[in-house]
């Protein structure tokens, strides 16, 4: 049981040769989201957790007749009943439900390239950012959400029970990459005043990483950079993009560490026609990574 959990029930259950302990706790995460409570049932043999079940108050939609606490308390009764009657059947169906997150990515710098055009302007900027990272001695990975299989978040809140998403698609590897990265860079065009849909899908799915860090009780601090391009002229074109990206970063405890916003791109057609832009992008990356100003 974690320190932040409140004990609701504890009972000894004699089953077969052994005596097990069944514990129900509540963790109050209202400071994070109003009324978010996580209920955890653990079956213990000594210190070892043999089976674990979690449910949380956000899982239940307004029209759902169930609520998290009643479901948890009912499960305690049914676990107790089945365990004492038929331990073999219990252990055949109640496995430890919290797994270890997939761990494949290793980049120092994760770059999310939001444009569906793999050969567009944001792609050029991503290349400059990746180049600057590598020149500073850090590995970089550029992700093109448009080319990936990423299902939209369905708001099931299961991630606050397990620490990972119910969907195991290309997002699993992206979260793994961010877990290792020290810097996140978003390169995105403005689409209808906000970010393109595929990038927004990915941003929403990062909620599972927020859940993972919340359950672990440990938020890793990182830096984030935003590079964005608008076709039209005027800074107001970036109002929503900056809001969406800064909120997203702050939710994951990533410190927004600089924005480079370039408007009027439809007239110029090619970011390489913006005087000094490549140097500014490279310098911003180098400065955040090394603490020293890059060449400009």
Ligand X SMILES: Cc1cc2nc3c(=O)[nH]c(=O)nc-3n(C[C@H](O)[C@H](O)[C@H](O)COP(=O)(O)O)c2cc1C
Shortest reach from residue 123's CB to ligand X, in Å: 6
Report the residue number, 3 or 192, with the smaller CB distance to ligand X: 192
The yes or no reply on residue 241 touching ligand X (CB under 6 A) is no
Report the residue number, 168 or 266, with the smaller CB distance to ligand X: 266
Report the residue number, 31 or 192, with the smaller CB distance to ligand X: 192
Total residues contacting ligand X by CB under 6 A comes to 17
CB-based contact 106:139 (threshold 8 Å): yes
Per CB under 6 A, the list member of 184, 190, 252, 285 interacting with ligand X is 190
Angle at 67 between CA 64 and CA 69, to 5 degrees: 170
- The region of 4-12, 153-161, 226-234, 282-290 touching ligand X under the rule CB under 6 A is 226-234
- The region of 30-38, 104-112, 119-127, 138-146 touching ligand X under the rule CB under 6 A is 119-127
Per CB under 6 A, the list member of 237, 283, 286, 287 interacting with ligand X is 237
Report the residue number, 121 or 287, with the smaller CB distance to ligand X: 121
The yes or no reply on residue 145 touching ligand X (CB under 6 A) is no
Report the residue number, 183 or 241, with the smaller CB distance to ligand X: 241
Per CB under 6 A, the list member of 231, 253, 260, 274 interacting with ligand X is 231
Shortest reach from residue 286's CB to ligand X, in Å: 22
3-state secondary structure the chain: CCCCEEEEEEEEEEECCEEEEEEEEEEECCCCCCCCEEEEEEEEECCEEEEEEEEEHHHCCCCCCCCHHHHHHHHHHHHHHHHHHCHHHHHHHCCECCCCCCCCCCCCEEEEECCCCCCCHHHHHHHHHHHHHHHCCCCEEEECHHHCCCCCCCCCCCHHHHCCCCCCCCHHHHHHHHHHCCEEEEEEECECCECCHHHHHHHHHCHHHHHHHHHHCCCCCEEEEEEEECCCCCHHHHHHHHHHHHHHHHHCCEEEEEEEEECCHHHHCCHHHCCCHHHHHHHHHHHHHHCCCCCC
Binding marks (x or -) toward ligand X, 262..281, rule CB under 6 A? ---xx---------------
Shortest reach from residue 282's CB to ligand X, in Å: 18
Shortest reach from residue 147's CB to ligand X, in Å: 14
The yes or no reply on residue 127 touching ligand X (CB under 6 A) is no
| Greatest alpha-carbon span in the chain | 78
Per CB under 6 A, the list member of 38, 109, 111, 122 interacting with ligand X is 122
Binding site for ligand X (CB under 6 A): 115, 117, 120-122, 189-193, 229-232, 237, 265-266
């Amino acid at each position: 049981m974690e320190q932040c959990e409140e004990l609701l029930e504890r009972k000894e259950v004699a089953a077969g040769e052994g005596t097990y302990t069944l514990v129900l706790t509540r963790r109050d995460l209202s400071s994070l989201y109003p009324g978010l409570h996580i209920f955890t049932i653990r079956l213990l043999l000594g210190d070892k957790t043999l089976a674990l079940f979690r449910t949380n108050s956000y899982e239940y939609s307004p029209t759902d007749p169930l609520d998290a606490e009643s479901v948890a308390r009912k499960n305690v009764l049914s676990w107790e009943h089945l365990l004492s009657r038929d331990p073999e059947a219990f252990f055949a169906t109640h496995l430890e439900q919290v797994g270890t997150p997939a761990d494949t990515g290793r980049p120092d710098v994760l770059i999310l390239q939001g444009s569906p055009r793999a050969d567009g302007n944001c792609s050029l900027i991503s290349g400059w950012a990746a180049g600057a990272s590598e020149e500073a001695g850090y590995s970089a990975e550029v992700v093109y959400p448009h080319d990936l299989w990423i299902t939209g978040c369905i708001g099931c809140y299961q991630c606050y029970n397990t620490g990972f998403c119910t969907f195991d698609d290309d997002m699993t590897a992206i979260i793994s990459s961010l877990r290792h990265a020290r810097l996140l860079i978003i390169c995105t065009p403005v689409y209808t005043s906000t970010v393109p849909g595929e990038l927004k899908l990915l941003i929403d799915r990062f909620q599972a990483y927020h859940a993972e860090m919340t359950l672990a009780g440990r938020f890793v601090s990182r830096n984030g950079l935003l590079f964005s391009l608008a076709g039209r002229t005027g800074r107001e074109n970036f109002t929503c993009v900056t809001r969406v990206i800064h909120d997203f970063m702050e939710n994951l405890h990533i410190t927004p560490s600089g924005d480079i916003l370039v408007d009027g791109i439809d007239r110029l057609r090619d970011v390489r026609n913006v005087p000094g832009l490549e140097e500014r992008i490279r310098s911003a990356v180098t400065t955040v990574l090394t603490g020293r100003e890059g060449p400009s």
